Amino acid sequence: MPTPRELIAANVARTRERIAAAAQAAGRDPAEIKLVAVSKYVDAGAAALLVSAGCHALGEARPQQLWEKAAAPELAGVEWHLIGRLQRNKIRRTLPLVSLIHSVDSARLLAAINDEAATLGTTCRVLLEVNCSGDAAKQGFTAEGVRALLPELPNYAHLEVAGLMTMAALDGDDAVARANFAALRLLRDELARESPPTVMLRELSMGMSGDFEIAVAEGTTIVRVGSSLVEGLRR
């Protein structure tokens, strides 16, 4: 029976192979796609095994769990990504820890992060979350909401709005996921043509364990993969 370290290493290698195959099938360079290992399913010890397997970017959905893992000695030096919802009262503690916030879902939150980054004397990289599926249970801007916000982005002097994020419809099949991801890519391409000079919308964060190959085919630059990486691990 493989050890947890061997199991996670094999899962990571298999996932990277799948990303590479999907990229090559789409005529893309696999190096264009960043793997963020979602560590919300495991404790700090297992998350450290992900790092030892080459996953140096870890994603957490809840700020409190990110704070706890970021304080773990075995996870020193990790590049942290917040992929879940951020409440305004958790911004101050979260900002110094994260490399990228994927889930900015309102102009109010965008302004609050900018204000806190100004207080800290730093710049925060963020993605705007777009609800491409139209699911009522999901957060995020509408496409029209992002278009309306675009001219205002240079006013957020302490933010780098690096791109867009979405999740596929909860109840959809692969065709629906493909349509959702294609919609985000087309929106990003449209906005990039119209963006103010200081706004570079290079990143697309889309694709999780069940659909990341579809996302790669549709142009994602970041995939957020969790359960596939810890499959078989007794937690």
Q: How many separate domains does the chain show?
A: 1
Classify the C-alpha dihedral 151-95-187-199 as positive or negative.
positive
Q: pLDDT of 147-177, one tens digit each?
A: 999 999 999 999 999 999 999 998 889 999 9
* Dist CA 30 CA 43 (whole Å): 29
Q: How far apart are the C-alpha atoms of 12 and 18, rounded to whole Å?
A: 10
Residue 235 has pLDDT above 60, yes or no: no
What confidence category does residue 138 fall into, taking pLDDT thresholds of 50, 70 and 90?
confident
> pLDDT tens-digit profile of 4-17?
999 999 999 999 99
Q: For residue 129, what is the domain's CATH number?
A: 3.20.20.10
pLDDT at residue 169, as a whole number: 92
Is 233 contained in some domain? no
Asked if residue 42 has pLDDT above 90, the reply is yes
235 found inside a domain: no
State whether residue 40 is helix, strand or coil. Answer: coil
Backbone angles phi, psi at 119, to 5 degrees: -60, -40
In a domain, 116, yes or no: yes
**Position 207 in a domain:** yes
pLDDT digits (tens, 9 = 90+) for 179-189: 999 999 999 99
pLDDT grade for 134, boundaries at 50, 70 and 90: confident
Is 217 among the domain residues? yes
- The pTM assigned to this predicted structure is 0.96
Domain span including residue 117: 4-225
d(C-alpha 150, C-alpha 199), whole Å? 9
Give the pLDDT confidence of 81-103 residue by residue, as tens digits: 999 999 999 999 999 999 999 99
Residue 231 within any structural domain of the chain: no
Exposed (0-12), middle (13-18) or buried (19+): which is 108, by Cβ within 10 Å? exposed
Summarize the confidence of residues 202-222 as an average pLDDT.
Answer: 97
Contact 37, 56 (CB under 8 A): no
The mean pLDDT value for 20-30 works out to: 98
Residue with tokens 């911004």: 91
**109 and 85 Cβ atoms separated by less than 8 Å:** no
pLDDT at position 136: 81
Among residues of the chain, what percentage have pLDDT more than 70? 99
Note whether residue 64 is domain-resident.
Answer: yes
pLDDT of residue 234: 61
In a domain, 232, yes or no: no
Where does the pLDDT of residue 54 fall: very low under 50, low under 70, confident under 90, or very high at 90 and above? very high
Q: How confident is the model at residue 233 (pLDDT cuts 50, 70, 90)?
A: confident
